[in-house]
């Protein structure tokens, strides 16, 4: 708890700035009646049930409209990408870093599309079945940019699993849970316009003006900075429930208190204890810890910076892609191969030179 508080206090100013900017944009769209100055913003206006990421309202947030085309979905559709091809695209990125091709069993046993003949749980996930190389993902992949990023995320788990397969069973795991979550997302940070253009998913030779650059940084902020308070508050609520500090008759009230305090959002209609809003978040009834994602959203930037340095990249970090870089790949693979055999601080130091998140 103390560690997440420490990290949150460092990144909060960045979130507050983004929140203020977004509120301004939402005010001009919906008016000051609905989005008043200095007050929490109605949560449903962010284009996501939990307001956890704001990329769905990117068109509203875009600082310079019309100067950049970041529409990967349109390109995927135009080129007829299906689930398999999107997964192969992710695989190719990892292979370009020196990771192996996915085993045949991955392709035979994974579920990449929604079956037509039965009900399934379509929530994306990655599975290490036996600790001996039987790895699979389950995702109902649709041809969208968001699903493309999610496949890359899931393969991050898979490549971690494959990298530590030679460790004793007890050492087969992430250095800590946040590391496991950060692998695929670190790769996501390398999916720059340059990378996307090089694999044909954005038009080549786009002019990279200052305006276009700021647009993309806003897009990344709407996914990465916007997420931080939500990533923190889910377990804060859960820890309160488990310790008894949040009694059953306050489950929903305490949830919205945290939503207000950290995210600066509020319910659009009156809520009561007849509602159980935390239960709408998959990880709560699913009993999946959530602090891992908060930590990942900090760590992935440390990994990205370290790998870009290893790659000898000297330009601004937001333009760096480690795609195809041998040295960055080697350093990344070395860390993943250790699994949880060393303290996470040692793993972090080996890659980034610092022992602190």
| Footprint of ligand D0Z (CB under 6 A) | 124-127, 150, 153-154, 157, 174, 180-181, 185, 293
With CB under 5 to 8 Å by kind, the binding choice for 338 among Zn ion, ligand D0Z, none is: none
Residue for token pair 């200052």: 210
The nearer residue to ligand D0Z, 129 or 199, going by C-beta atoms, is: 129
Q: What six digits make up the tokens of 242?
A: 């488990």
283 catalytic? Reply is yes
In the region spanning residues 172 to 201, those forming contacts with Zn ion, defined by CB under 5 A, are 181
- Total residues contacting Zn ion by CB under 5 A comes to 1
Long-range contacts of the stretch 166-173 (C-beta < 8 A, 24+): 166/337, 167/337, 167/338, 167/339, 167/340, 167/341, 168/341, 169/131, 170/340, 171/338, 171/339, 171/340, 171/341, 172/128, 172/131, 172/339, 172/340, 173/339, 173/340
The nearer residue to ligand D0Z, 174 or 264, going by C-beta atoms, is: 174
Which residue of the chain is nearest Zn ion when measured via CB?
Answer: 181
Smallest gap from residue 127 Cβ to ligand D0Z (A): 5
Strand, coil or helix: 135 = strand
In the region spanning residues 248 to 307, those forming contacts with Zn ion, defined by CB under 5 A, are none
Smallest gap from residue 78 Cβ to ligand D0Z (A): 24
Tell me the C-alpha distance between 206 and 57, whole Å: 23
Query: What is the bridge-based pairing of β-strands 265-266 and 41-42?
Result: parallel
What φ, ψ does residue 155 adopt, rounded to 5°?
A: -65, -25
With CB under 5 to 8 Å by kind, the binding choice for 293 among Zn ion, ligand D0Z, none is: ligand D0Z
The nearer residue to ligand D0Z, 35 or 192, going by C-beta atoms, is: 192
List the Cα angle 195/196/199 in 5-degree steps.
90
309 catalytic? Reply is no
Smallest gap from residue 153 Cβ to Zn ion (A): 6
The nearer residue to ligand D0Z, 250 or 283, going by C-beta atoms, is: 283
Catalytically annotated residue among 211, 283, 309, 327: 283
With CB under 5 to 8 Å by kind, the binding choice for 91 among Zn ion, ligand D0Z, none is: none
> 292-312: buried (b, 16+ CB within 10 Å) or exposed (e) per residue?
bbbbbbbbbbbbbbbbbbbbe
Smallest gap from residue 164 Cβ to Zn ion (A): 16
Tell me the C-alpha distance between 265 and 75, whole Å: 34
Interface map 127-166 toward Zn ion (x if CB under 5 A): ----------------------------------------
The nearer residue to ligand D0Z, 39 or 123, going by C-beta atoms, is: 123
Catalytically annotated residue among 91, 154, 181, 193: 154
Tell me the C-alpha distance between 149 and 147, whole Å: 5
Q: Which residues bind Zn ion (CB under 5 A)?
A: 181
Catalytic residue numbers? 154, 283
């Amino acid at each position: 708890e103390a560690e997440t508080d420490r990290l949150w206090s460092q990144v909060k100013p960045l979130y507050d700035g983004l929140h203020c900017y977004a509120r301004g944009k939402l005010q001009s769209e919906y008016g000051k009646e609905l989005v008043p100055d200095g007050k929490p913003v109605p949560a449903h206006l962010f284009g996501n049930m939990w307001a956890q990421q704001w990329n769905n309202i990117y068109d509203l947030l875009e600082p310079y409209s019309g100067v950049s085309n970041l529409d990967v979905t349109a390109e995927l559709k135009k080129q007829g990408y299906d689930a398999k091809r999107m997964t192969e695209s992710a695989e190719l990125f990892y292979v370009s870093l020196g990771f192996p091709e996915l085993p045949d069993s991955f392709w035979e046993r994974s579920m990449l599309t929604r079956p037509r003949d039965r009900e399934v749980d379509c929530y994306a996930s990655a599975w290490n079945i036996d600790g001996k190389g039987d790895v699979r993902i389950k995702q109902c992949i649709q041809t969208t940019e968001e699903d493309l990023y999610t496949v890359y995320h899931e393969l991050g788990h898979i490549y971690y699993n494959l990298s530590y397969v030679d460790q004793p069973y007890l050492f087969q795991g992430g250095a800590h849970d946040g590391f496991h979550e950060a692998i695929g997302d670190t790769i996501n940070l390398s999916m720059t316009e340059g990378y996307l253009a090089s694999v044909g998913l954005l038009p080549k030779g786009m002019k990279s003006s200052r305006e276009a650059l700021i647009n993309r940084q806003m897009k990344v902020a709407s996914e990465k900075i916007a997420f931080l308070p939500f990533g923190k508050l889910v377990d804060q609520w859960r820890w309160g429930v488990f310790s008894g500090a949040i009694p059953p008759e306050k489950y929903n009230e305490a949830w919205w208190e945290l939503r207000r305090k950290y995210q600066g959002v509020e319910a659009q209609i009156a809520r009561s204890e007849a509602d159980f809003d935390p239960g709408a978040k998959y990880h709560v009834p699913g009993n999946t810890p959530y602090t891992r994602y908060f930590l990942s959203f900090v760590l992935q930037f440390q990994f990205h910076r370290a790998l870009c340095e290893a790659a000898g990249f000297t330009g601004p970090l937001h333009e760096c892609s480690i795609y195809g870089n041998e040295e960055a790949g080697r350093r990344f693979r070395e860390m993943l191969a250790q699994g949880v055999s060393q303290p996470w601080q040692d793993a972090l130091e080996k890659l980034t030179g610092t022992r602190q998140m």
